Chains A and B, each alone.
Chain A
Amino acid sequence: MKLSHIDKLESESIHIIREVASEFDNPVMLYSIGKDSSVMLHLAQKAFYPSKIPFKLMHIDTTWKFKEMINFRDEIAKKYNLDLLVHINQEGVRNNINPISSGSKIHTDVMKTQSLIQALDKYKFDAAFGGARRDEEKSRAKERIFSFRDKKHRWDPKNQKPELWNLFNTNIDKDESVRVFPLSNWTEIDVWQYIYQENIPLVPLYFSKIRSVIRRNDMMIMVDDDRLKIKENEKIEQKKVRFRTLGCYPLTAAVESDATTVEEIIIELLESKYSERQGRLIDNDQIGSMEKKKQEGYF
């Protein structure tokens, strides 16, 4: 019997997840509701089958996620009987930080990065799983699978610990932590293929449907609720669209598509010329922007 590429990736990820459960006192899995998180959750369930996942899941809620994402999150938590924490940066809410008038940079910093740091400090997690992949973005390509964070949750790209074979250095001091990326070696197509083969449930936003959108900054933004004020020169259109990546709805661009099933998405992806992070406004602020965000504590 020969293991396929996907089989190898699957076992490698399970190994990483079990290593964290063995070596850390208080790990958490960050669950962003997106497809990568869904795959990561599925792998964690396999790693400990027939037992329950021996750690909590946590969602950092910016309060601007698509409604369908939140519904899906709560359904999944109920269906699989997950220990799910939801954290919101209440100070950000009080200061009315939002992606529209505060801008994507401040909103992401306060409601995502700062909020995550608050939650990690509050619960004293020593390891946090994330669903990031190395093929997503150039600076991710160089990040370790076990990526060390200092007491202030900062990443130092020039001072990363060498990571050899599959021997992971899990030694940290009090208040330090690691971010762990079990999907490091998966590509976008691998993730979709796995979702198809394993029949992993996804938020319906990934699949094309007629949705209300406006055009803003060369992107199609979905009108998910009335907090998105329509400007005079904008008009709401009904378009058959889907999302390649999910985040805060005013910052996530829809793409026109006819793909309504995982098969059709894969075919579309194979023919596509744009990478998935292109749908995210936050990466394009400046050259090296993801690297800067990560140094500050962003996932």
Chain B
Amino acid sequence: MDIETFFQNQNNKKQLKILTCGSVDDGKSTLIGRILFDSKNIYSDQLSQTKIESEKYGTQGKQIDLALLIDGLQAEREQGITIDVAYRYFETKKCKFIIADTPGHEEYTRNMVTGASNSDVGIILVDATKGILDQTKRHTFILSLLGIEKIIVAVNKMDLINYDEKKFKDIIASFKNFAGEFNFNLQKFIPISALVGDNVFQKNKNISWYNGKSLINELEEISLKDSLEEEIFSLPVQFVNRLSSQFRGYSGTITSGKIKVNDEVHVFSSKEKIKIIKILTPKGESDFAVKGQAVTLTLDKEVDISRGDLLCSVKNHNYFLSDQFASHIIWMNKEQMIPERNYIFKFINFQTIGKITDLVHKININSFEKIASKFLNLNEIGYSKVALNKNTIFNPYKNNKKLGSFVIIDQFNNQTVGAGVIEHELRRASNISWHQMSINKNLRSSINGQKPCVLWFTGLSGSGKSTIANIIEQKLHKLEKHTYLLDGDNVRHGLNKDLGFTDVDRVENIRRISEVSRLMVDAGLITIVSFISPFKSERKMARELVESDEFIEIYVDTSIEECEKRDPKGLYKKARSGKLKNFTGIDSNYEIPSSPEIILETKIKSAEELADEVILYLKQYNKI
């Protein structure tokens, strides 16, 4: 074989990313094993290894279990199920394929979403002996949500129903019946048997009534046309290359359209117009570059551009700058999503703090019903409003997948807890501007020589927060300082009397108090907050609402045993006997602060002495 011809053929092959999904035991791993086996993409040593493993774990008797080729991780081999996303590679004469193999169980919906996010085409496997199941509907819905427009429904195990045409047609009819609303632009149905190989690579005489193509031929025919001509150029700036003093360039991957030397583009954040001087592509300097290329651009003038910015066409762009949008969110963590809690939102080239302000509804992914809910659990999908801490640039997912997608990260354990696709912008925040008053907090607080701040007490119930807080307020009053004490129990009688003690209500409770204390700081007061405030993220939220030196977190460190012994309100007794639910320290979590400004150990010192420590701190830091 001539090597240049080989490379020419290789370079002419298109790349297709496919996702296989379907219910448990529909035979996904067997299908992929079959594809790799028939496309001769398995080496003989891998095959002999699989033979050894088949004897140990196989489900096909004496025959080689092709699924074992695919189920890579030890635990999966032992349990006989796929528990993660596995990527596989094979090629045919026309095509290079990357397959994401994802699990069928409902509890692994997040893995399927992960696989779908990077795929062009979805193959939905249906077990011919079982027909359309809830999982089939769920997977179809997820494919549609993740913007996959082309699907192939492969009706598997045809050998087990004697290649019955009528049963096949019934399955097609019931699929079309529920999938009608999803607007796939390509939808094909193929009867197959992955186990014996019918209609996978080759058409088979067992299914003579089927006139269509085999699964692989059908995939090879799919064309993914990029209509670059119509697309608007966009490049999210990923990296500023000024590693040497003689050079300054802006690097990133083009997410839509194309660009030529001398084109004028916008720096989206500043609306400044600039001209492209040089385009450095992976193939060297070039007159132009297109979507998908990782490039470095040099510009005609020095402008302020950093990671997080967007370069885009001057005309007709459809990006928007906002701090709020509506989106579909898939929750991927055992710990439930709580509205109003701060999370990290990561986009293509930046991340920022934000929160889910309203969960409009969640979606029953088996029946597609919309259900009212306050929070999302693992594997649930909801439609919600998101508010970010700063204005950001994005585009609805249907226009640009790269600029319309994000993941949600827990600020404390760094887990990826959710993912979302942007539906549309919300303009609410930009219409309400903050009124600038003539008298500000510095003027207000200067009258009696104090600097406003929040003394945020946190600790278990009965730890002594209110007692110490009360003494501090008296001492400050004597010093003629203006103060206000917000006490947990007192506020729950009024402002927060609609809230209970579930995690969701606790978060809302603290959010309101944080906002109130911000107003009080603005009023120039030394604000004393005495709340259990059990969660790190809400305390952090409260901290971020005021200036960094205005928040003084005070951890009242009293052990649960000691609090329970004191039990001034008899609450621990009630909680232990089960009469009081969601009690912090008993059946609701308390997260100890990792770096509070002040720690008060009640075991060693009296309340009076501890109050003096806080007063001393305020003097040291020139608050009073």
Identify the A interface with B (CB < 8 A).
1, 3-8, 10-12, 14-15, 18-19, 21-22, 46-52, 54, 134-135, 137-142, 157-158, 160-167, 169, 171-173, 184-185, 187, 189, 193, 196-197, 263, 266-267, 270, 272-275, 278, 287-288, 291-292
Contact = CB atoms under 8 A, between A and B. Distances in A.
Given A11-B282, A160-B84, A164-B113, A22 B307 contact: yes
A272 B43 CA distance: 8
A6 B238 contact: no
A181 to B, nearest CB: 11
Interface of B: 1, 3, 6-7, 10-15, 43-46, 49, 52-53, 56, 69-75, 77, 83-89, 96, 98, 110-111, 113-114, 117-118, 238-239, 241-244, 247, 251-253, 258, 280, 282-283, 288, 290, 292-294, 296, 307, 332, 344, 346-348, 351, 401-402, 405-407, 409, 414-416, 419
Contacts of B344: 171
A7 B288 CA distance: 15
Given A51-B247, A142-B85, A163-B114, A173 B346 contact: no
A54 B113 contact: no
8 contacts: A4-B12, A14-B294, A18-B251, A49-B296, A137-B72, A138-B73, A161-B415, A166-B118
Contacts of A263: 3
A147 B455 CA distance: 41
Most buried by B among A14, A138, A157, A292: A138
Given A47-B251, A274-B44, A134 B87 contact: yes
Contacts of B70: 138
B85 A167 contact: no
Contacts of A189: 10
Given A22-B239, A291-B73, A142 B282 contact: no
Contacts of A21: 239
A262 B288 CA distance: 31
A167 B406 contact: yes
Contacts of A6: 10-11
Nearest to A1: B290
A134 B414 contact: no
A259 to B, nearest CB: 12
Given A11-B282, A164-B114, A167-B348, A48 B53 contact: no
A267 B1 contact: yes
Contact of A162 (B114, B244, B294): B114
Given A21-B239, A52-B244, A165-B405, A142 B46 contact: no
Nearest to B74: A288
Nearest to A276: B43
A139 B86 CA distance: 9
B347 A8 contact: no
Contacts of B56: 287
A18 B280 CA distance: 15
Contacts of B332: 162
Contacts of A184: 87
A158 B292 CA distance: 32
A99 B407 CA distance: 45
B405 A164 contact: yes
Nearest to B255: A166
Contact of A15 (B110, B114, B244, B253): B253
A82 B481 CA distance: 62
B107 to A, nearest CB: 13
Nearest to B239: A18
A275 B43 contact: yes
A166 B402 contact: yes
A5 B14 contact: yes
Contacts of B416: 161-164, 169
B44 A165 contact: no
B375 to A, nearest CB: 19
Given A11-B294, A138-B73, A266-B3, 17 more contacts: A4-B13, A5-B14, A10-B282, A11-B253, A14-B294, A50-B244, A138-B71, A161-B415, A162-B113, A162-B114, A164-B407, A165-B117, A172-B414, A197-B7, A266-B6, A278-B43, A287-B56
Contacts of B293: 3, 7, 11
